[in-house]
Amino acid sequence: MRTNHRIAAVLFLALPLFSCQPPREQRAEFFVFGTLVEIVLRGVDENSASAAFADVQRHLQAMHNELHAWKPGALTQLNQAFAEGRSMNLDNDIPTLIEMSRTMEDATDGMFNAATGGLVRAWGFHTSEYPVKTPPPSKDEIRRILSTKPSTMSIHQEGNVLTSTDPTVQLDFGGIAKGFATDRIISVLVHEHGISEALVNAGGDLFALGGSDEHPWLVGINGPEGVIGGLEIQTGAVFTSGSSERYLEQEDSRYPHIIDPRTGEPVTGLMSVTVIDDRRFRSKGWFADAAATALMVAGPESWRELAEKLELESVLVVNSYGEVLMTAGMEKRLLPAP
Ligand code: AMP
Ligand code: MG
């Protein structure tokens, strides 16, 4: 394994966040999915925290290898099989992610579409190096990829055997994998380590668990130009999708890494979307993550309508003029930036 595939872990004790009787916190950081993932635990001793962090690291490494869209692994093999019209037997998380992606493709009228990996690659976004400087794909290339309307609905599963009836289906879980990973980590912490208070923060995309009225988790909402405001979360997900860091640059134009599956072109109109999903036991990182990506596609005209359809009360967007707009639910809870 090459060193850049490895996840670096740093363990250290937290400084108190609250002045009144702070809960004792244990922290660790891991570099994975191109992001720093920070885990904060409350109410556990150092030894239990170390054991939990070691387990988390193992799971993160496995998900990183399994779900990577362009480094050779399970997903690239599956995409190769689809392209060649072959079936593939898989016993890992990919079938679950396909199921979740399908749910979100359906719920967003195709604005979230994990089968458009061919377009993501054609636009040069299968890279860790930003900004991308390669030329945009030709109109013909985009038309060719879109001609079959690639969709996760073309994937069929029998037991662990996956087949796509459309060879242009190329899976890319970039819009949902971080959410899936936060859910997995929370589940490992709860079910394998008996932890009931934790924060998993993947570069501003996060899942908080077990905060209380007295000690909620305090998190910041990031906009294109820094922190927009703060939030108190007890249990739930906060995910932001945006175009400020990952884009293709050509002369004076910037093309963000989120593609409108209907046109094959990168989205325009919104710079970022933040979604809170803290409906308690119903809240899921994968849902919030995919919803934020879909709302970027919905754009300035339709984001409110899609948020309503997805039953998301708290959504904040920054439009291309830098204006911050939000739902009434978000307005009620947004705290001033620290
Ligand atoms: P996020 O930062 O969660 O919005 O995810 C963006 C990533 O999702 C991109 O880098 C692509 O890998 C992938 N992606 C781009 N457009 C879409 C889309 N319309 N639906 C689903 N995934 C997408
Ligand atoms: Mg997303």
> Which of 253, 248, 296 has the alpha carbon at shortest distance from 127?
248
In this structure, of 19-23, 74-78, 93-97, the range with the lowest mean pLDDT score is: 19-23
**pLDDT surpassing 50 at residue 7:** no
Question: Residue 13: its pLDDT value, please?
Answer: 31
Q: What are the distances in angstroms from CA 301 to CA 14, 17, 109, 258?
A: 43, 39, 15, 17
Give yes or no for residue 220 CB within 6 A of ligand 1: no
Please state, in angstroms and rounded to a whole number, the distance separating the CA atoms of residues 286 and 328: 24
Average model confidence (pLDDT) across the chain: 91
Phi and psi (nearest 5°) for 232? -105, 125
Closest atom, ligand 1, to C-alpha of 125? 10
**pLDDT surpassing 50 at residue 8:** no
Give yes or no for residue 113 CB within 6 A of ligand 1: yes
Tell me the CA–centroid distance for residue 240 and ligand 2, in Å.
7
Tell me the CA–centroid distance for residue 179 and ligand 1, in Å.
12
Tell me the CA–centroid distance for residue 59 and ligand 1, in Å.
22
Give yes or no for residue 240 CB within 6 A of ligand 1: no
Question: Residue 224: its pLDDT value, please?
Answer: 78
Residues at Cβ < 5 Å from ligand 2 ion: 175, 241, 289, 292-293
Give yes or no for residue 121 CB within 6 A of ligand 1: no
Q: What does the pLDDT average to over 62-76?
A: 95
- The pLDDT-based confidence of 118 (bands split at 50, 70, 90) is very high
Question: Residue 231: its pLDDT value, please?
Answer: 95
Please state, in angstroms and rounded to a whole number, the distance separating the CA atoms of residues 322 and 319: 5
- The pLDDT-based confidence of 14 (bands split at 50, 70, 90) is very low
Give yes or no for residue 175 CB within 6 A of ligand 1: yes
Question: Residue 22: its pLDDT value, please?
Answer: 60
Tell me the percentage of the chain whose pLDDT exceeds 70. Answer: 93
Tell me the CA–centroid distance for residue 227 and ligand 1, in Å.
22
**pLDDT surpassing 80 at residue 11:** no
Tell me the CA–centroid distance for residue 241 and ligand 1, in Å.
9
- Buried-exposed string 183-209: b where 16+ CB fall within 10 A, e elsewhere: bbbbebbeeebebebbbbbbebbbbbb
Give yes or no for residue 299 CB within 6 A of ligand 1: no
- The pLDDT-based confidence of 281 (bands split at 50, 70, 90) is low
Give yes or no for residue 49 CB within 6 A of ligand 1: no
Q: What does the pLDDT average to over 284-301?
A: 97
- The pLDDT-based confidence of 204 (bands split at 50, 70, 90) is confident
In this structure, of 1-10, 129-138, 233-242, the range with the lowest mean pLDDT score is: 1-10
**pLDDT surpassing 90 at residue 222:** no
Question: Residue 109: its pLDDT value, please?
Answer: 98
Tell me the CA–centroid distance for residue 256 and ligand 2, in Å.
13
Ligand nearest the Cα atom of residue 75: 1
Closest atom, ligand 1, to C-alpha of 172? 12
Q: What does the pLDDT average to over 252-268?
A: 93
